[in-house]
Structure 1
């Protein structure tokens, strides 16, 4: 005989759900599988299976910039050369 089960209902925006479905499908998991895994880890470890933290000022500024760019549906750079030049100026290779 199998153990009794519960049905959970969660609310999440459509974009988040769609992105999660794609990512989980690539891992061979369903949404239900992923939720069960997270809940199992919470119950077993008595903690979330990932670290939560408050982003620092630089990260918050980057997140705000990304949100602004996404709302405007445009990139910060006019072409790939401008992006590469900016990365090189920042010492990122």
Structure 2
């Protein structure tokens, strides 16, 4: 194992640091180990180990739709189901959590 002797100084938003460290603590992972893992993944992936992009679409907020718009959305969903452009619920919810940081 290599000696850990390099220092890294970063400035981040306090609430981001607090939330991340709370999750890491629950996992039993010190922040320094998590950052080391992140850097190793950057090396292995030869880039960021996750996709960085602006989501192309947001989920529809049905509370803002008129009756006609709501029915149009239902029709779109029915057409997707009919044309087999669907995924199972477990995968859909995992994607939503990933895409929206939930």
Q: TM-score range by the shorter chain?
A: 0.5 to 0.7
Partner of 1:50: 50
Shift of 1:36: 0.3
Structure 2 stretches lacking a partner, 5+ long: 62-72, 75-102
Q: TM-score, normalised by structure 1?
A: 0.55
| Paired positions, count | 64
Q: TM-score, normalised by structure 2?
A: 0.51
Q: Give every structure 1 segment of 4 or more consecutive aligned residues whose post-TM-superposition deviation is greater than 6 Å.
A: none
The reply to whether residue 18 of structure 1 matches residue 13 of structure 2 is no
Q: Deviations over 1:56-86 (max 9, x none)?
A: 2426x98xxxxxxxxxxxxxxxxxxxxxxxx
* RMSD, matched Cα: 3.0
Partner of 2:39: 39
Partner of 1:85: none
